[in-house]
């Protein structure tokens, strides 16, 4: 059972079938089918069930997934470590971040890193917090930035900063620049928030709705919007108010395109953490990127 067989197994699982995996791996479908058949023969159990034209993991396949992910990632670590001996300041570095963290601070981080390491191929992917952890766990990303710690034993999480939340509104909102004693006083407002999508949970969205419940808002009138930029444009136009982090609304607040409503009983923030794979190899360039992230986010 080698890493190529396990990688093929994982690709069939993630892409939902032999055909898609063959396209992604630039191999023929018979070659992929044969690779899976040999792996199943070696293990003595079927790894997939073919149901209604779909390729689904069997019980054995579900058991194998986390071990296969660790084995494939370890093989990639070994290759990266050997290559780093010859060229410690080069090679790819993959960064995965929650989309709402891809703002001006991230631009400054990437610009600084690029100026120091012009030969390093730095790539960026955006995802939900859970997806960021998955990318790191599978070795598809080197460093991740997400909301809140991940309790997985495969990951190391380092708190970077706590991002305060505030209520933002249109400048002409009746409460713009004013203060209320309790968040519950805003129960009658229309709220704009990220949707909670089944199977694609985002920590930030869950946190907002938990705050609503804690502060007595209950079943609020809200509009789901899956884009931060679209949320801010709707708020500017007076279609609702939202709980946004200070950094995500900083530009609009500075230009007076948005205003805030002070809330006496609201003390809330999102923890932003850096995620790496526990025991995984980090090249010199990756370690430097992580250090830049620490410095830029902690104001050093």
Specify the higher pLDDT residue, 212 or 145: 145
The model's pLDDT over 229-253, given as tens digits with 9 standing for 90+, comes to 999 999 999 999 998 888 888 889 9
Task: List every span in the chain annotated with CATH 3.40.190.290.
Answer: 162-270
| Third-level CATH fold of 162-270 | D-Maltodextrin-Binding Protein; domain 2 (3.40.190)
Give 240's contacts (C-beta < 8 A, 6+ positions apart).
Answer: 189, 190, 191, 192, 222, 223, 234
pLDDT of residue 300: 46
- pLDDT digits 0-9 by tens, 6-48: 888 888 888 888 888 888 888 898 898 888 888 888 888 888 8
Return the higher-pLDDT residue of 68 and 171: 171
275 contacts 151 by C-beta, under 8 angstroms: no
Q: Which of 30-44, 80-94, 164-178 has the highest mean pLDDT?
A: 164-178
Calculate the average pLDDT of the chain: 85
CA distance 188 to 216: 12
* Class for the domain spanning 3-72: mainly alpha
Helix (H, G, I), strand (E, B) or coil at 120: coil
pLDDT band at residue 157 under the 50/70/90 scheme? very high
Q: Which pLDDT belongs to residue 96?
A: 95
Q: Are 289 and 143 in contact (CB under 8 A)?
A: yes
Residues of the chain with CATH 1.10.10.10: 3-72
- Boundaries of CATH 3.40.190.10 in the chain? 82-161+271-297
Q: What is the pTM of this model?
A: 0.67
Q: Nearest 5°: CA angle at 274, between 272 and 278? A: 140
Residue 200 dihedral angles phi and psi, to the nearest 5°: -140, 55
CATH topology (fold) of 82-161+271-297:
D-Maltodextrin-Binding Protein; domain 2 (3.40.190)
Which is higher by pLDDT, 168 or 219?
168
């Amino acid at each position: 059972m080698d890493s190529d067989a396990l990688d093929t197994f994982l690709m069939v699982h993630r892409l939902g079938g032999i055909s898609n995996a063959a396209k992604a791996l630039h191999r023929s479908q018979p070659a992929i089918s044969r690779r899976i058949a040999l792996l199943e023969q070696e293990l003595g159990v079927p790894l997939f069930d073919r149901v209604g034209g779909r390729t689904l993991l069997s019980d054995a396949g579900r058991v194998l997934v986390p071990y296969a992910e660790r084995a494939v990632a370890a093989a990639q670590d070994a290759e990266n470590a050997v290559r780093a001996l010859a060229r410690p300041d080069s090679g790819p570095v993959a960064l995965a971040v929650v989309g709402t963290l891809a703002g001006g601070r991230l631009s400054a981080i990437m610009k600084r890193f690029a100026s120091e390491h012009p030969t390093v191929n730095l790539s960026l992917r955006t995802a939900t917090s859970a997806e960021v952890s998955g990318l790191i766990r599978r070795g598809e990303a080197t460093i991740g930035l997400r909301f809140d710690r991940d309790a997985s034993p495969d990951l190391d999480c380092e708190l970077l900063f706590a991002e305060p939340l505030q209520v933002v509104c249109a400048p002409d909102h009746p409460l713009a620049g004013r203060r209320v004693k309790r968040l519950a006083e805003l129960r009658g407002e229309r709220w704009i928030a990220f949707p909670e999508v089944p199977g694609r949970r985002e920590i930030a969205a869950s946190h907002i709705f938990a705050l609503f419940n804690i502060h007595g808002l209950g079943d609020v009138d809200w509009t789901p919007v899956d884009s931060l930029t679209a949320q801010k444009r709707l708020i500017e136009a007076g279609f609702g108010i939202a709980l946004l982090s200070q950094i995500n609304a900083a530009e609009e607040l500075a230009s007076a395109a948005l205003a805030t409503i002070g809330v006496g009983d609201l003390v809330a923030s999102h923890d932003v953490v850096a995620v790496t794979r526990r025991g995984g190899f980090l090249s010199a360039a990756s370690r430097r990127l992580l250090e830049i992230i620490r410095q830029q986010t902690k104001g050093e």
